[in-house]
Amino acid sequence: MSILFSPLTIRSRTFRNRLWVSPMCMYSARDGVPQEWHHTHLAQFASGGAGLIIAEATAVLPEGRISPRDTGLWSDQQRDAWAPIVRAVHDRDALIGVQLAHAGRKASTWWPWAPQRGSVPHAEGGWTTFAPSAVAFEGYAEPTALDAAGMDAVVAAFAESARRALDAGFDVLEIHAAHGYLLHQFLSPLANMRDDDHGGSLENRARLTLRVLDAVRAVSPDDIPVFLRISATDHAEGGFTPEEAAQVGEWAIDHGADLIDVSSGGLVAHQRISVGPGYQVPLAGTVRQGGRIPTSAVGLITAAEQAEQVLAQESADAIFAGREWLRDPHFGLRAAHELGADVAWPPQYARAVWR
């Protein structure tokens, strides 16, 4: 039997397989409200065999958006727009989560296909950004360092957005602490220059992430899985390390997280990454600690057999993929066919099954 297409149960949620869709920003929202694009985009992956789909980085505060076109969950209008998208995924027998996020010093930037680059000026719809320290990401506007009240507001915003996500029907909540965004900025000594109880030691640098996790777990029923996405290395000298990531993963599990979604990079522009097939899988293995910490692997996992081997080698418990799902929204069905896995196809597509 294929491991990739064996079910996985976390709390009360059983995922029909372990081939999942990574959160991928579409930069197509209006005032944080998802549009018809998001409905079609996410529902197609459920038809295509995904076990879990995580909706894109969704801001918990307006100033937490990466760009003016990001989705949000800071308002009830946004919650109500997400609900039919969630239902569409459920109607196709898949589960769906949402990645709750705050971009910190990497907020208020232009979307990828805009003619401009860098920070959006206030005159053109941009806003003041916030970070652990008043240290800018290279080429972006200088942020304002969060004070105690600001950090409290961030924690409360994650909790309120989690409530709205659950009201919209999401099955999984993922907290975004990767890719150079706010919680990752607190975790890394390359962005966190604080000398209070949120800076310095790893325990202090992890404090805000764990506070957010506690707040999200507190508003979530016991049957709801909560994931934490981390960048397990900054790919830069003096940055966050895989060993520190493993420790944060252990603390996160103790604070109620159910799975650590392991990625890397994004904190500094001068990072140096050796990119290749499965290049982040060893990081997931490090955080997994021989099976003590449930993890998912991501990063140029593009083929069925490759994904199967990651699980067979016990480097991770599940696979997230991104680009391959964009190339082929039926990647799940194709992978099952290639591995000879016996899975239920949508009856509308049953004629495609090789016999």
Helix (H, G, I), strand (E, B) or coil at 247: helix
8-state DSSP, 66: S
Helix (H, G, I), strand (E, B) or coil at 148: helix
How far apart, in Å, do the first and last CA atoms of the chain sit? 18
Residue in the structure block whose two tokens are 């976390």 = 10
Residues contacting residue 72 through CB under 8 Å, at least 6 positions apart: 29, 31, 32, 33, 58, 59, 60, 61, 62, 65, 78, 161
From the candidates 27, 140, 181, 279, which is the catalytic residue? 181
279 is catalytic: no
Which amino acid does the sequence have at 199? Answer: G
Residue in the structure block whose two tokens are 């409200």 = 33
Residues contacting residue 210 through CB under 8 Å, at least 6 positions apart: 251, 252, 255
Task: Give Cα 114 distance to the centre of its chain.
Answer: 23
Return d(Cα 234, Cα 351) in angstroms, integer: 46
Q: Beta strands 295-297 and 318-321: pairing type?
A: parallel
Q: At what angle do helices 331-339 and 304-312 cross, to 10 degrees?
A: 70
- Alpha helices (runs of H) in 273-330, residue ranges in sequence order: 281-288, 304-312, 323-327
Residues contacting residue 254 through CB under 8 Å, at least 6 positions apart: none
Return d(Cα 35, Cα 218) in angstroms, integer: 30
- Alpha helices (runs of H) in 28-100, residue ranges in sequence order: 36-47, 76-91
Return d(Cα 256, Cα 163) in angstroms, integer: 16
Q: What is the set of active-site residues?
A: 181
